[in-house]
Amino acid sequence: MTATPDALVFDAFGTLFDVHSVTRLAESLFPGRGGALSQAWRTKQLEYTWLRSLMGRYDDFRRVTADALDWSLESLRLDASREQRTALERAYRELEAFPEVRGALERLARGRTLAILSNGHPEMLDAVVDHNDLRAWFGERVLSVHDAGVFKPDPRTYALAAAGLERPVAAIGFVSSNGWDAAGAKSFGYAAWWVNRGGAPVERLGSPPDAVVADLAELATRLG
């Protein structure tokens, strides 16, 4: 990357918010199976975003998330009541931010514009941002791929950030803990930081990130 960008755009699920914070609820509903359900749900949720995008059959992230839960429950042979399903889906609106997020955003916001660009439906995103009391850092700059009618990593989704922030592509840095999302943003033209929370290998997709950090606190330190 050339210069430090004056705007940082964050992925939401997995990057700011811990998608596996639903594990606790899942475990209380299905003892001994919470981790497996949470993993299957997240994996299938991503698969469905990619597959629906490729098929040209976009549906909003709330529906995709519910469909993925439905598949995962059947796959694990878990019998869930309507109330249990509703509780699990609602948990996605109340995901917990990772512990370092607030402190890191406070440091990163100095002299920079911060935004979110997520697969989430706008209503879902607003709920989870407000639940974690992060509105001060993002204001109305909580952007959803819903406006493009396709999910990441389609280039039309990344274009929403430059358009929404009214900035050139070169002025924007993209931050994601999803390696494939960082690759998509880099391929589109943004500087990309990969938050490698799990110590995973870098994705072999032809557009490696400009830098890799362990969490957002390290990103804040590196960007100063």
Interacting residue ranges for its own copies, rule: CB under 8 A: 47-48, 50-57, 59, 67-68, 70-71, 74-75, 151-155, 180, 183-184, 187, 200-201, 203-207
| Minimum distance from residue 2 beta carbon to its own copies (Å) | 22
Alpha helices in the chain (DSSP H): 23-29, 34-55, 61-75, 82-91, 101-108, 122-131, 135-138, 155-165, 179-188, 216-223
In whole angstroms, the minimum distance from the beta carbon of 56 to its own copies comes to 6
Write down the least CB distance from residue 151 to its own copies, Å: 8
Q: Which is nearer to its own copies, 110 or 204 (CB)?
A: 204
HEC readout, 112-136: CEEEEEECCCHHHHHHHHHHCCCHH
Q: Which is nearer to its own copies, 77 or 110 (CB)?
A: 77
Q: Smallest distance from the beta carbon of 60 to its own copies, in angstroms?
A: 13
Q: Pick the catalytic residue from 11, 18, 154, 181.
A: 11
Check if the beta carbon of residue 83 is closer than 8 Å to that of residue 198.
Answer: no
Residue type, 172: I
Spatial neighbors of 174 by CB under 8 A, at least 6 apart, are 8, 9, 11, 117, 158, 161, 182, 185, 186, 190, 191, 192, 193
Task: Give the nearer residue to its own copies in terms of CB position, either 40 or 134.
Answer: 40
Nearer to its own copies, 43 or 221 (CB): 43
Q: Which is nearer to its own copies, 100 or 203 (CB)?
A: 203
Tokens of residue 204, six digits: 């072999």
Does residue 126 carry a catalytic annotation? no
Sign of CA dihedral 99, 21, 215, 66: negative
Rounded to the nearest whole angstrom, what is the least distance from the CB of residue 125 to its own copies in the complex? 21
The H or E element containing residue 9 is strand 7-10
Give the Cα separation of 192 and 152 in Å (integer): 14
- Residues 6+ positions from 94 with CB-CB distance below 8 Å: 127, 128, 131
Catalytic residue positions, numbered? 11
